[in-house]
Amino acid sequence: MYRKIIYFPRIARGFATHSGNSLLPPATLHLKSGQSFFGRSFGAPKSIYGETVFSTSITSYTESMTDPSYRGQILVFTTPLIGNYGVPLNTAPFDSEDVGVVLESQKIQCAAVVVGDVAEKYSHYTATESLASWCQRHDVPAITGVDTRAITRLLRDQGTTLGRLAVGNDTSLPAPTADEFWDPSLENLVDQVSTKEPYELNPTGSVKIALLDFGAKANIQRSLVRRGAAVTVMPWNYDFNAVRDQFDGLFLSNGPGDPSHCMEAAINLRRTLDEWNKPVFGICMGHQIIGMAAGLDAYRMTFGNRGHNQPVLALASSGSIKAGRVYVTSQNHQYALKLQDPFPQGWEPFFINCNDSSIEGIKSTSDSGKNVWGVQFHPESAGGPLDTIEMFSDFLTECAAHKSNAVLSTGDEGVLKMKTFDSAPKIAVVA
Ligand SMILES: NC(=O)CC[C@H](N)C(=O)O
């Protein structure tokens, strides 16, 4: 028996927002647990199913929405006003670093977005369109005018919940029955977003990195390329062992869905780790694959961690990371590695989450003869803090250690941002 709870649209709070605008078509978010939230549609005029998750990030809706790890998810933003800085042109060269996009991939990856108040007017010097027009152009439905706090409190209590966003005429249909909901975690979403063919970025770079693409965010690629790496991006299940001698290091990217669909990659990696001693670094899904190859289990968290202010405590020192320090990190995950005692031989916990004590990183022990790191969070940010960005330099420095002619550069993300501002039009202050 599902509880039937009805939440009515919020009263509009801002003059420049859509909420409560009765000219917009109706939209309803149905949760499989029985609750329905009524609002207005500002995206594509179509209805979808997905997994309803919330993000506590206060900025970077553009980066989150283009992150392939959000594939299949109905993304609820807890920040009430979303869209106020619009959306930039995704192919503009200003920050592309030769990876082809400004945002995190070519298109919107999440299934839908849910916001309290969408900003109709936007203002930013790089913006070329509104959030609403971007969603419509990418055929992604969106709802505004719902109580995102109420939705988030439900999701925190009952966990990530399957949902349906019904738009327009579909809002007059009854809520779907339990078996009509689509569960994206049953599918191998990685296979849907990973590159089908290998390709190279910055081929003249002197340190050769193979990147297994589980749904890589562009800023991971930029963070490697900016530091001087040549990056060969490979499908997630590529037989890296057949070509590994050509590379100085292996990188495993982030990616959507349940990591157990990628067991094949963990088995391949286990062989790599047994037979190859060069550095390996993994982020989020990549970290989970490293853990599975090391013999750890991954489990599904209640509501995961999605946001840009997740504190993690370093338990060990390595490169720029100092044991005992807390780093603020960007995160987007539903699964995590299980803490076990003892840890598999040759491995140790690297970071732990200060809020929920989940594992945030693992590394090979210093006496293992290996250089392997996995982190559950996103050192590349986009969006979020750059506290751990130097982990890319740490990784590439280790990859270059056996080469006499390697030329690496500092990433200088902060400096790059200043350069971007140098070329910006003057900001007019309106009284
Ligand atoms: N961002 C990621 O790589 C997420 C990894 C995995 N899909 C999870 O949800 O835990």
380 in catalytic set: yes
Mutating to test ligand 1, I would choose from 284, 301, 338 the residue with most ligand atoms within 8 A of its C-beta, which is: 284
What mean pLDDT do residues 118-127 have? 95
pLDDT tens figures, 15-51: 345 455 668 999 999 999 999 999 999 999 999 999 9
**Domains 5-185 and 189-408 alike in fold:** no
Q: How far is the CA of 65 from the centre of ligand 1 (A)?
A: 14
Model pLDDT, residue 100: 86
Q: How many angstroms separate the CA atoms of 195 and 111, rounded?
A: 20
Q: How many angstroms separate the CA atoms of 133 and 64, rounded?
A: 17
Q: What is this model's ipTM?
A: 0.98
- Evaluate: CB of 254 within 6 angstroms of ligand 1: yes
Burial of 140-153, coded b for 16+ CB within 10 Å and e otherwise, reads bbbbbbbbbeebbe
Q: How far is the CA of 123 from the centre of ligand 1 (A)?
A: 32
pLDDT tens figures, 262-293: 999 999 999 999 999 999 999 999 999 999 99
Model pLDDT, residue 95: 55
Both structure tokens of 369: 């003869």
Least confidently predicted of 153-157, 394-398, 426-430 = 426-430
Closest CA to 155 of 35, 239, 307: 35
Model pLDDT, residue 312: 98
- Evaluate: CB of 164 within 6 angstroms of ligand 1: no
pLDDT tens figures, 178-229: 999 999 999 999 999 999 999 999 999 999 999 999 999 999 999 999 999 9
- Evaluate: CB of 335 within 6 angstroms of ligand 1: yes
Residues 6 or more apart whose CB falls under 8 angstroms from that of 261 comprise 187, 188, 189, 190, 191
What mean pLDDT do residues 159-166 have? 98
- Evaluate: CB of 289 within 6 angstroms of ligand 1: no
- Evaluate: CB of 284 within 6 angstroms of ligand 1: yes
Number of Cβ within 10 Å of residue 121's Cβ equals 12
- Evaluate: CB of 316 within 6 angstroms of ligand 1: no
Q: How far is the CA of 287 from the centre of ligand 1 (A)?
A: 9
Closest CA to 32 of 185, 184, 176: 176
Both structure tokens of 263: 């067991």
For ligand 1, atom 5, name the residue with the nearest CA. Answer: 285
Residue 256 CA: nearest ligand 1 atom is 7
Q: Look at residue 396 and tell me whether its pLDDT is greater than 90.
A: yes
Instruction: For domain 5-185, give the fold.
Output: Glucose Oxidase; domain 1 (3.50.30)
- Which residue of the set 284, 308, 360, 399 is catalytic? 284
Q: Look at residue 405 and tell me whether its pLDDT is greater than 90.
A: no
pLDDT tens figures, 74-103: 999 999 999 999 999 998 665 556 788 999
Contact 187, 44 (CB under 8 A): no
- Evaluate: CB of 255 within 6 angstroms of ligand 1: yes
Residue 288 CA: nearest ligand 1 atom is 5
Q: How far is the CA of 289 from the centre of ligand 1 (A)?
A: 10
What mean pLDDT do residues 351-359 have? 98
What's the CATH code, domain 189-408?
3.40.50.880
Q: How far is the CA of 70 from the centre of ligand 1 (A)?
A: 8
Q: How many angstroms separate the CA atoms of 159 and 411, rounded?
A: 38
Q: How far is the CA of 386 from the centre of ligand 1 (A)?
A: 19
Model pLDDT, residue 99: 87
- Evaluate: CB of 332 within 6 angstroms of ligand 1: yes
Q: How far is the CA of 211 from the centre of ligand 1 (A)?
A: 16
- Which residue of the set 120, 378, 398, 413 is catalytic? 378
For ligand 1, atom 8, name the residue with the nearest CA. Answer: 333
Q: Look at residue 370 and tell me whether its pLDDT is greater than 90.
A: yes
Residue 335 CA: nearest ligand 1 atom is 10
Q: Look at residue 430 and tell me whether its pLDDT is greater than 50.
A: no
Q: Look at residue 385 and tell me whether its pLDDT is greater than 70.
A: yes
Domain locations in the chain as residue ranges = 5-185, 189-408
Average pLDDT, the chain: 92
**Cα 325 from chain centroid (whole Å):** 24
- Evaluate: CB of 349 within 6 angstroms of ligand 1: no
Q: How many angstroms separate the CA atoms of 40 and 167, rounded?
A: 8
